[in-house]
Amino acid sequence: MPTPHSDPLRLLWLTLPETRQGRELSWLAAMPGAQVTAVGEQPTGDDVPFVTRPYRRLTRRFVEAGALAWFKDLETVTPEGGADWVGALELCALVTGQLNRLADRLGARRAVITWGNLPRNPLYRLPPYRQALHRAESADLVVCTIEAALDHCVALGIPDDRCRVVLPPLDTERFHPPAQPVEEPIAVFVSPLAENKGIDRVLDAFDIVRRRVPEARLVIAGRGPLASMVEARAAASAGAITYVGSLPGDGVAELLRTCAVFVTAPRPTPVWNEQFGLAYVEAMASGLPVVTTICGTNYEAVLEPSIRVPDDVNALADGLVHFLGDPALRRSIFGEVRRVVVERFERGQQLAALRAAFDSVG
């Protein structure tokens, strides 16, 4: 439930296909005084009133902001009590391109949330996405969830006085450390099992780690196109690798408290570069140092004493051994790992900042 506020903020939010529960919509609904209604084809699972409208979707090959999908029948959407704002996620999403007409009809302002860090994204050159981006440039408010997104917006020609940087909220009650650091050398990977998240690199690095820290173990959680490869490697590992499949948020939090180090190995694609990485700050809030590859702007999440290494299997193995092979080091940084992310991303603090961003628009 949102914190009470003397001035309610009524927001109508257009969801993207495959919107993930507990993300931007959830944060908006938890802002002080927020009254949020969501529009989408299927409920996201977030605790908000939901208006069902179908997408027109040409293909399912592209997902999230790149989805070739937009709403049908938005002209009949009228939230009870009206709307002060209408909003959507990402500047080039086709759903975002529908904000202007909806806002004009409802007499509302327009807000866009963006994680963007790639102003030369090839998607921006394709007509449907370019048109959506052009329409988004007139938004009354652009909420940048990372510092790099502000630079991204300015590079695209969006005036910086309409942008506000609000770093993502971190649920420090769900993601908290165990009473004592985990002594066993257990690394954990929690991310989609896809090439751009580097599970193949992690598995190859772990083979090297085992030669230097024979008792090391690796736990993998997630799903994706490389799941069969993960299952095969786990089956051949004599118990050193455990694959637990996809887990809900509480399950991820519980898993993190049983492990010693968090690892991924992202690498860029032509249309994607890692923007942040919520999993990093969740792991650090749980007391785990992070070892990951240098990719995009993930330095905004991977704060010292966690480390980023080159996209090289030996460098990744060295980073893992640095922590897994030294339980005394892990004990010495246990509190600091959590402190640096709580200080910057604590949920209540960031939800208040999100509400302040909306209130700042005159």
pLDDT at 64: 79
Paired sense of beta strands 55-57 and 69-71, if any: antiparallel
pLDDT at 62: 73
Label residue 360 by pLDDT band (50, 70, 90): very high
- The CATH code of the domain at 9-169+346-359 is 3.40.50.2000
pLDDT at 63: 74
Label residue 61 by pLDDT band (50, 70, 90): confident
- Give the domain ranges of the chain: 9-169+346-359, 186-344
Label residue 4 by pLDDT band (50, 70, 90): low
pLDDT at 230: 98
Residue 251 scores a pLDDT above 80? yes
Among the four given CATH numbers 3.40.50.2000, 3.40.605.10, 3.20.20.210, 3.40.190.10, the one describing domain 186-344:
3.40.50.2000
Measured CA angle at 152 (ends 267, 280), to 5 deg: 45
The per-residue pLDDT for range 325-356, each reduced to its tens digit, is 999 999 999 999 999 999 999 999 999 999 99
Taking residue 124's Cβ as centre, other Cβ atoms within 10 Å add up to 18
pLDDT at 133: 94
Label residue 58 by pLDDT band (50, 70, 90): confident
The closest alpha carbon to 156, from 186, 105, 120, 205, belongs to 120
pLDDT at 45: 93
Label residue 65 by pLDDT band (50, 70, 90): confident
Label residue 3 by pLDDT band (50, 70, 90): low
pLDDT at 49: 95
Q: Kindly report the average pLDDT of the chain as a whole number.
A: 95
All residues at 6 or more sequence positions from 253 whose CB lies less than 8 Å from its CB, including other chains: 174, 175, 176, 282, 286
pTM of this prediction? 0.94
pLDDT at 6: 65
The per-residue pLDDT for range 209-244, each reduced to its tens digit, is 999 999 999 999 999 999 999 999 999 999 999 999
pLDDT at 67: 87
Instruction: Look at 196 and 58; give whichever has higher pLDDT.
Output: 196
Residue 155 scores a pLDDT above 60? yes
Residue 1 scores a pLDDT above 80? no
**Average of per-residue pLDDT across 137-164:** 96
**Average of per-residue pLDDT across 82-107:** 96
* SS3 annotation, the chain: CCCCCCCCEEEEEECCCCCCCCCHHHHHHCCCCEEEEEEECCCCCCCCCEEECCEEECCCCCCHHHCCEEECCHHHCCCCCCCCEEEEECCCCCCHHHHHHHHHHHCCEEEEEECCCCCCCHHHHCHHHHHHHHHHCCCCEEEECCHHHHHHHHHCCCCHHHEEECCCCECCCCCCCCCCCCCCCEEEEECCCCHHHCHHHHHHHHHHHHHHCCCCEEEEECCCCCHHHHHHHHHCCCCCEEEEECCCHHHHHHHHCCCCEEECCCCCECCECCCCCHHHHHHHHCCCCEEEECCCCHHHCCCCCCEEECCCHHHHHHHHHHHHCCHHHHHHHHHHHHHHHHHHHEHHHHHHHHHHHHHCCC
